[in-house]
Amino acid sequence: MKLFKFIQNGKTHCGVEINHLKYDVSAHFNDYDEMFFESNGFEKLKELVHKGHLTVMSADDLTYAAPIARPSKIVCIGLNYAKHATESGMVVPPEPVIFFKSTTAMCGPYDDVIIPRGSEKTDWEVELAVVIGKKASYIDEDEAMDYVAGYALHNDYSERAFQLERSGQWVKGKSNDTFAPFGPYLVTKDEIPDPHNIRLWLSVNGEMVQDSNTDDMVYKIPFVVAYLSQFMTLLPGDVISTGTPFGVGLGLNPPRYLKAGDIVELGIDGLGTQRQVAKNWVKQ
């Protein structure tokens, strides 16, 4: 099952895709939020479709929003692919690096990416994101997957000067508006039997710069979910972004960063694709 949201007449609607057919379920659900996950939303969705009360949507020209409501937190894992740690001039740490990304950065998968005011080092990071399905506090690794609702494609845009040259925590370089394109789908975990063996890729202006596999991930999903739950309560709908493989702009020689007009495309097998056009920030 794939959950998505789309914009029609200025309003955001909930949709679901089952067996390649899309259904508008906005008459039944306002949003895919904490309440949805907490109150067995997936089962209700399945029931609706099986009862046949919904009509199939024409899937042409949908304007996709992020597939979930703005979460209580976006937690990211840093340096979680060995070759990416090397290209960043760092090593894989003995315990996961974790950092937050502002939830206001979240946007739709085809929205423009806005190069922040004063930015010269806006960079890309294709990532597999995990969406939490139920409240998790002090859980063990062997039960961690019970707390996972599914997966989504995420581009963890990063301003390297803000992140690495402006003192303090990485959050400064991770949180500008449009720095977290998400979706198009939240794909339920039953559709991705092995999330640790899928291809993820990203191209800039048609040139492939990241082309890797999640089998290169150092700290795997059950470990990461259990690990985070020792430090914070994960709420239904929360996002964990599991890190990026090598091939970011920072790691190129010479480094390469986005400029207005650049086109970024990315995908993960089974989770769909995204496309962003880079634009300069302008005062609204």
Residues within the interface to Zn ion (CB under 5 A) = 125, 156, 244
Cα–Cα dist 42/65, whole Å = 19
- Closest approach of Zn ion to the CB of residue 242, in Å: 8
Residues in the chain: 284
Q: Which residue is nearest to Zn ion (CB)?
A: 156
Question: Among residues 189, 130, 172, which one has the least CA distance to residue 154?
Answer: 130
Residue among 156 and 262 whose Cβ is closer to Zn ion:
156
Burial-class residue 233 by CB neighbours within 10 Å (0-12, 13-18, 19+).
middle
- Smallest separation (angstroms) from Zn ion to the CB of 64: 22
* Residue closer to Zn ion (CB basis): 99 or 281: 99
Tell me how far, at minimum, the Cβ of 100 lies from Zn ion, in Å.
12
CB closer to Zn ion, 17 vs 156: 156
Give min distance, CB of 142 to Zn ion, in A. Answer: 26
Q: In angstroms, rounded to a whole number, what is the distance separating the alpha carbons of residues 27 and 208?
A: 41
Tokens of 34: 């904490």
Closest approach, Cβ 255 to Zn ion, in A, equals 16
Nearest to 12 by CA among 100, 106, 116: 106
Task: Rank residues 156 and 159 by Cβ distance to Zn ion and give the closer one.
Answer: 156
Residue closer to Zn ion by CB (options 203, 244) is: 244
Rounded-to-integer distance, Cα 75 and Cα 45, Å: 27
